[in-house]
Amino acid sequence: MQLNFQRLTALIRKETIQILRDRRFILLFLGLTFVQLFVYSYSASRTVYHLPMAVVDQSRDPSSRALIQALVNSQYFDATVYMDSEAQARQAIDLGQVKADLIIPPHFAADIDKGSANFLMILDGSDQFAVASGYNAASLVAQNFGLQLTAESLARSGGLPAESSGASLPIVASAQVLYNPDLNDRWFVLPGIIGMILQTLAIEQAAIFLVRDREWGTLEQILATPIRQLELILSKMIPLLGLCLLALGMSVGLGVFWFGVPFQGSLWLYFWLSVLFIASCLALGLLISTRAMTQFEAETSALIFMLFGLLLTGLFYPRIGMPLIPQLIGDLVPLTYFLRISRGIYLKGIGLNFLWNDALVLVLYILVVVFIVSKRFRMRLD
């Protein structure tokens, strides 16, 4: 495989001029990065606050009111409407007026004293995130409420010093969440989204690039020169790599300064591992373009990787729970590896000693895909 510096620089200069001259393309490229970052970041919040809730309070005593207040105070629920019967409340969910029903049976306070109180929470199961949030919140609130009551009654019976209500419990679990103490979804999601955006842009642009030469007919004229295959492949990858790094810089800048997600690790390491990741995506895109005869074909194929990226890499859905085949497909998507790198460096601030295996996989990935591209792409037209 021959590599001539004069030819390579001429090719890279040509590709760069062509990219820079296409203002619309650059605007679209950076604009898409921008839009995706905002759309994903703001939409990716999975905790649902202020679920509208219908309340059926058949007890109407201080305890039931305290329970309602506790649920509302948790910020997860709003007592939107008070109703008289469970049937009415269920209908409210059917009609989509509320996402949850709280049914408190009669004699709630009396039952509490007997130690056998219960209440019913009905959740709208057609809304996955509402159910998850509501379920967790309701359980937590009920538990706290119960604990508090237990403590109070203990205090009243003289078992504990009764300075204030629920002052001291025998066990207090104090959980500490590392890296994301406020459990802010955006923190968790942003480093992954940056990878997702880069992957989408890199694969799609690389997929189109060779096809465009073919459609313009310039490929024939270029093939008729002594340009070698590796030179052609590299000349397509290097300018796009630069453009993707620009998009990366923009995304990290917005992440830190606009979304306020602090960057914990080494920017330098992040930069180099991102180069590996982008290069693997570009190689994948070129692989698509060796097959695709039209831009439409290329773009459609690139779309599949976007879908895999969204669903199978662990970006939004944990990979641990997936069946084997989706997991294996996810293994073929570069984002799977970059997610660990990006979250690791960005949020945790860990170094290469923890990430070397993912970095190694990306290096191998690039080598293998470029090798396949070089086998598939002959310096001929047929």
Partner 1 sequence: MNEFAIATRDLVKEFKTNREVITAVDHVSFQIEAGNTYGLIGPDGAGKSTTTRVILGLLSRTDGESRVLGFDSMRDMYQIRERVGYIAQQFSLPPNLTVMENMRFFADVHMVSPENQKQRIPELLSFAGLSDFTSRLAGKLSGGMKKKLALACSLVHEPQVVMLDEPTLGVDPVSRREFWSLLGNLRAEKGLTIFVCTPYMDEAERCTRVGLIYKGRMIVDDTPASIKTKIPGHLLEFSPSVFAPAIQLCTGMDGVLEVQTYGDKVHVFVDDVPSRRAQIESSLDAQGISHDTPREIEVRMEEAFISLIRREQESSLEETVLPQPPQSSGARR
Q: Which residues would be at the binding site for partner 1 (CB under 8 A)? A: 4, 6-7, 9-11, 13-14, 17-18, 21-22, 216-228, 378-382
How long a stretch of residues is the chain? Answer: 382
Q: Identify residue 231 by its one-letter amino acid code.
A: E
Exposure b/e, 4-13, CB count within 10 A at least 16 = b: eeebbeebbe
State the nearest-atom distance from the C-beta of 3 to partner 1, in Å: 13
Choice between 15 and 57, CB closer to partner 1 = 15
State the nearest-atom distance from the C-beta of 256 to partner 1, in Å: 36
Choice between 14 and 90, CB closer to partner 1 = 14
Q: Whole-angstrom Cα distance, residue 243 to residue 247?
A: 6
State the nearest-atom distance from the C-beta of 239 to partner 1, in Å: 14
State the nearest-atom distance from the C-beta of 205 to partner 1, in Å: 16
Q: Identify residue 58 by its one-letter amino acid code.
A: Q
State the nearest-atom distance from the C-beta of 240 to partner 1, in Å: 16
Choice between 156 and 376, CB closer to partner 1 = 376
366 close to 283: Cβ distance less than 8 angstroms:
yes
Q: Whole-angstrom Cα distance, residue 2 to residue 316?
A: 43
223 close to 173: Cβ distance less than 8 angstroms:
no
State the nearest-atom distance from the C-beta of 216 to partner 1, in Å: 7
- Tell me which residue of 281, 269, 292, 291 sits closest to 332, measured CA to CA: 281
Q: Whole-angstrom Cα distance, residue 252 to residue 230?
A: 32
**Burial (Cβ within 10 Å: 0-12, 13-18, ≥19) of residue 159:** exposed
DSSP string, 307-353: HHHHHHSSSSS-GGGS-HHHHHHHHTSHHHHHHHHHHIIIII---HH
Choice between 15 and 358, CB closer to partner 1 = 15
Choice between 216 and 354, CB closer to partner 1 = 216
Choice between 210 and 350, CB closer to partner 1 = 210
Choice between 99 and 236, CB closer to partner 1 = 236
- Tell me which residue of 315, 336, 322 sits closest to 44, measured CA to CA: 315
Choice between 23 and 114, CB closer to partner 1 = 23
State the nearest-atom distance from the C-beta of 243 to partner 1, in Å: 16
Residue 140 structure tokens: 């937590």
Choice between 17 and 120, CB closer to partner 1 = 17
Packing angle between helix 267-291 and helix 334-343, nearest 10 degrees?
170
State the nearest-atom distance from the C-beta of 11 to partner 1, in Å: 7
State the nearest-atom distance from the C-beta of 4 to partner 1, in Å: 7
Distances from the Cα of 113 to the Cα of 63, 65, 153, 169, 368, angstroms? 10, 16, 9, 19, 70
First vs last C-alpha separation in the chain = 21
Helix (H) or strand (E) holding 101: strand 100-104
Return phi, psi of residue 57, to 5°: -100, 100
